[in-house]
Amino acid sequence: MRNFDVKDSRLMEDWGTYREDNRRSWNARTAVHITSSFYDVPGFLAGKDTLMAPEMSLLPSLEGQDVLHLQCHFGQDTLSLARHGARVTGMDLSDEAIRQARSLAEQAGIPARFICSDIYDGRNEVQPATFDGVFTSYGTIGWLPDLNGWAEVIAHALRPGGWFVFVEFHPTLYLFDFETRQLGYPYFPHSKPITEESTGTYADPDAGIAVRDHFWSHPVSEIIQNLLDAGLDLEKIEEWDYSPYGCFPNMTLVGTDRYRFEAGPHPLPHLLGLRCRRKG
Ligand SMILES: C[S@@+](CC[C@H](N)C(=O)[O-])C[C@H]1O[C@@H](n2cnc3c(N)ncnc32)[C@H](O)[C@@H]1O
């Protein structure tokens, strides 16, 4: 497995450009997401819990826990963690997402701290060993070129014995081009990003925005090995054959709240979930 370090100066130069494109993309998406039926902000303000069954099965009791939510977007899950009793801090690259997260917290009357930062600068933004838990979910690591810097931030933030819960679309699912149902993307790590220009966003494909995105593949081994190398132990690993979000093209609703993308006769792995613990 090839791994590389975003601190490498040549890549770092490029990273500034990729990151700025991605920040712009997420600012444009957030402006659409906040009023989308997909994110249902009125439902959230009326008390809807946005945490889904997969992450609930991995999260410990949140009562009184200091929790850092990485790549928090505009904060619905962060504030849902707070409704479960956590003291929450959300971190995200998009200034528009953080502005909306602060506004949502105020409207909902939920105390929360939101930090606008690139995750790779996270160690400058949070004190070491100050969180009982770190959480991140659905559509996160694909925006990051390397996972060693990511895992280091998680280990930095956690108190000894603290937990990390991760629920992400499965690296196997991301092999597919959802439009054509054909294999279209790499599994193993690659230093140059996949760059795509598109219109609309997963929460509203018809929205009148045009975005340029840069993203990266991360195999299961890269995810887990970087967490182990950063000083976390793996406590639980799970895979699910459905997604709670119908956020990709050609997904079918199965029952009332599960979505599947099919490219053959057998169900594909849709989600990967991990619970880790920082060594005590
Ligand atoms: C798909 S969203 C997270 C999903 C979240 N579960 C939700 O739906 O609310 C991905 C988030 O990652 C953020 N992001 C992308 N690159 C980042 C980076 N380098 N550092 C921190 N956040 C980043 C984006 O701004 C975006 O808000």
Segment 99-135, tens digit of pLDDT: 999 999 999 999 999 999 999 999 999 999 999 999 9
Q: Are 238 and 58 in contact (CB under 8 A)?
A: yes
Q: Which of 38, 40, 73, 102 to mutate to test the pocket of ligand 1 (most atoms within 8 A of CB)?
A: 73
Ligand 1 neighbourhood includes 118 CB (under 6 angstroms): yes
First to last CA, the chain: 29
Calculate how far, in angstroms, residue 72's C-alpha sits from the geometric centre of ligand 1: 6
CB atoms within 10 A of CB 179: 10
Rounded to the nearest 5°, which phi and psi values hold at 258? -130, 140
Please tell me the residue having the least CA distance from ligand 1 atom 23: 93
- What is the C-alpha separation between 33 and 10, in angstroms, rounded? 34
Ligand 1 neighbourhood includes 139 CB (under 6 angstroms): yes
Q: Which residue has the tokens 């920082």?
A: 278
Calculate how far, in angstroms, residue 60's C-alpha sits from the geometric centre of ligand 1: 23
Segment 15-55, tens digit of pLDDT: 999 999 999 999 999 999 999 999 999 999 999 999 999 99
DSSP 204: B
Please tell me the residue having the least CA distance from ligand 1 atom 1: 139
The pair of structure tokens assigned to 123 is 């160690």
Q: What is the pTM of this model?
A: 0.97
Ligand 1 neighbourhood includes 222 CB (under 6 angstroms): no
What's the residue count for the chain?
Answer: 280
Ligand 1 neighbourhood includes 217 CB (under 6 angstroms): no
Ligand 1 neighbourhood includes 202 CB (under 6 angstroms): no
Q: Which ligand 1 atom is nearest residue 139's CA? A: 1
Segment 50-80, tens digit of pLDDT: 999 999 999 999 999 999 999 999 999 999 9
- What is the C-alpha separation between 150 and 141, in angstroms, rounded? 8
Give residue 3's pLDDT band: very low, low, confident or very high (50, 70, 90): very low
Topology of the domain covering 9-39+62-278? Rossmann fold (3.40.50)
pLDDT recorded at residue 8:
63
Q: Which residue has the tokens 């990511």?
A: 150
Calculate how far, in angstroms, residue 88's C-alpha sits from the geometric centre of ligand 1: 16
Give residue 191's pLDDT band: very low, low, confident or very high (50, 70, 90): confident
Please tell me the residue having the least CA distance from ligand 1 atom 12: 71
- What is the C-alpha separation between 168 and 237, in angstroms, rounded? 12
- What is the C-alpha separation between 14 and 120, in angstroms, rounded? 14
Q: Where are the domains of the chain?
A: 9-39+62-278
Beta strands in 118-220 (DSSP E): 131-137, 158-169, 176-177, 182-183, 194-199, 210-215
